[in-house]
Amino acid sequence: MDSAMIMPPRFHRRGLLLGSGALALSTLLPAPLLADIDTSDLSNITRDIAPISLEEREGRIERARRLMRDNRIDAILIEPGASMIYFTGVQWHRSERLTAAVLFQKGDPVIVTPFFEEPSVRETLAVPADVRVWQEDEDPIALIAGALKERGLSHGTVGVEETVRFFASDGLAKLAPGVSITAANPVVRGCRMIKTQAEIALMTKATDVTIAAYRWVWPRIREGMGPREIGAMMNAATVKLGGAPEFALVLLGEAAAYPHGSHKPQSVREGEVVLMDCGCTVQGYQSDVSRTFVPGKAPADVRKVWDTVHQGQQIAFHTARIGLPAGEVDDAVRGFYQKQGFGPRYQLPGLSHRTGHGIGLDGHEPVNLVHNEMTRLAPGMCFSDEPGLYLPGKFGVRLEDCFHMTEQGPAWFSTPPLSIEQPV
């Protein structure tokens, strides 16, 4: 099988995926390599999943309408990506030919797309919508401006989703000069940050796939293997288990000291760190799990750092509680690390990145567990918990598991490892 056929468009979310260069796996590996990996002892574990229902999507749109009313926003403009999938189901790509969705306080959404793309766009459209097409010699933004005028919003307020490209928002401002343009964050973030049980179930399944793949790969890692071989095994296992590989970051030895990798040649060596950061999607919802271990006997300094990171991860988890500003989770971990001689703040050796990020349809989405983030934790929010420690020129340790907030506090998607000898 051509490896490119199984890699989703977002596969290169992290730059140095395999510690060998800023390239996607599909360009690094010979086409037959994934298919040549024997995964016959694995089977699909995602057959029992329930996709997001029409009822849930309609509930999302209704919630968006309530938030629009609360924030005095009449409509919101969205381009293809996670937010369009979230509200409409449409799975499409961005190009110079604009496809966009407009959600209104009242009435069905409007989808604007090129005439010749309409059949393809309709294949994944999952809610009732008014689909309007434009020809190659027409301006798609004029269709959006026209839809606003028809809904009596020629002087209304349009929220623009934060990833919408400038040419779309600027074009709308010029073609609908009476419209006030504002940020759609209060609406889009207000919806997407709070996951439903259906979303959490899909994220749980994606995490189950990643953990099962780790469990299969870990005992198969041998001395002399490189990042590409290990990453290929991880992704082959993920595919067989029913997930869509999203990223497979493999860092060996000193490369583990640099959170997203190194161009230097790497291979597995006894007594040296293996750091893996891998994830997949199930029905578009993401997992993100990191493990650090050592083939053979772990050196005392590596073991000490591993144990410190393990404790830091638990501090983050147990600090998280409903109503707490998200930044205080990061503060708690950073304060502990400083007492252990790391830092201060982002200085190295220490924790040079945030403690965690939001996760859902996007691998990284608002809000983050980072200093000064004042958004208060609420039921349904989902985060990574990955307070790694990095010692430049030596090694790094990252343990990452994700959790979601419940009324009673945080709940793990995956259980953190208990020791460096048993990473899964």
Residue 14 lies in a domain: yes
Secondary structure class of 383 (helix, strand, coil): strand
Domain containing 401 — which CATH number? 3.90.230.10
Q: What are the pLDDT digits (tens) for 408-421?
A: 999 999 999 999 99
Q: Are 289 and 302 in contact (CB under 8 A)?
A: no
**Which element (helix H / strand E) includes 197?**
helix 197-217
Q: Are 158 and 171 in contact (CB under 8 A)?
A: no
Residue 355 lies in a domain: yes
**Which element (helix H / strand E) includes 366?**
strand 365-369
Residue 25 lies in a domain: yes
For residues 188 and 329, state if they share a domain.
Answer: no
DSSP 416: P
Residue 323 lies in a domain: yes
Ordered per-residue pLDDT tens for the chain, 424 residues: 333 222 333 333 343 333 333 233 333 344 446 778 999 999 999 999 999 999 999 999 999 999 999 999 999 999 999 999 999 999 999 999 999 999 999 999 999 999 999 999 999 999 999 999 999 999 999 999 999 999 999 999 999 999 999 999 999 999 999 999 999 999 999 999 999 999 999 999 999 999 999 999 999 999 999 999 999 999 999 999 999 999 999 999 999 999 998 999 999 999 999 999 999 999 999 999 999 999 999 999 999 999 999 999 999 999 999 999 999 999 999 999 999 999 999 999 999 999 999 999 999 999 999 999 999 999 999 999 999 999 999 999 999 999 999 999 999 999 999 999 999 9
Return the beta strands (E) in 25-156 as ranges: 75-78, 100-104, 110-114, 130-134
Domain containing 156 — which CATH number? 3.40.350.10
- Cα(215)–Cα(372) distance, integer angstroms: 37
For residues 371 and 308, state if they share a domain.
Answer: yes
Residue 423 lies in a domain: no
User: What pTM was estimated for this model as a whole?
Assistant: 0.91
For residues 223 and 370, state if they share a domain.
Answer: yes
Range of the domain at 17: 3-36+195-412
Residue 421 lies in a domain: no
For residues 164 and 227, state if they share a domain.
Answer: no
For residues 261 and 288, state if they share a domain.
Answer: yes
Nearest Cα residue to 261 out of 12, 17, 29? 17
Q: Are 16 and 261 in contact (CB under 8 A)?
A: yes
Residue 204 lies in a domain: yes
For residues 157 and 214, state if they share a domain.
Answer: no
Q: What are the pLDDT digits (tens) for 202-259?
A: 999 999 999 999 999 999 999 999 999 999 999 999 999 999 999 999 999 999 999 9
For residues 178 and 228, state if they share a domain.
Answer: no
Cα distances from 138 to residues 121, 161, 294, in angstroms, run: 19, 24, 60
For residues 161 and 258, state if they share a domain.
Answer: no
For residues 156 and 268, state if they share a domain.
Answer: no
Secondary structure class of 155 (helix, strand, coil): coil
From 160, 192, 224, give the residue that closes a domain: 192
Number of domains in the chain: 2
For residues 173 and 87, state if they share a domain.
Answer: yes
For residues 87 and 234, state if they share a domain.
Answer: no
Residue 405 lies in a domain: yes
Q: Are 182 and 156 in contact (CB under 8 A)?
A: no
For residues 73 and 110, state if they share a domain.
Answer: yes
From 144, 160, 192, give the residue that closes a domain: 192
Q: What does the block give as tokens for 397?
A: 């340790």
From 192, 220, 252, give the residue that closes a domain: 192
Cα distances from 331 to residues 289, 364, 400, in angstroms, run: 22, 20, 17
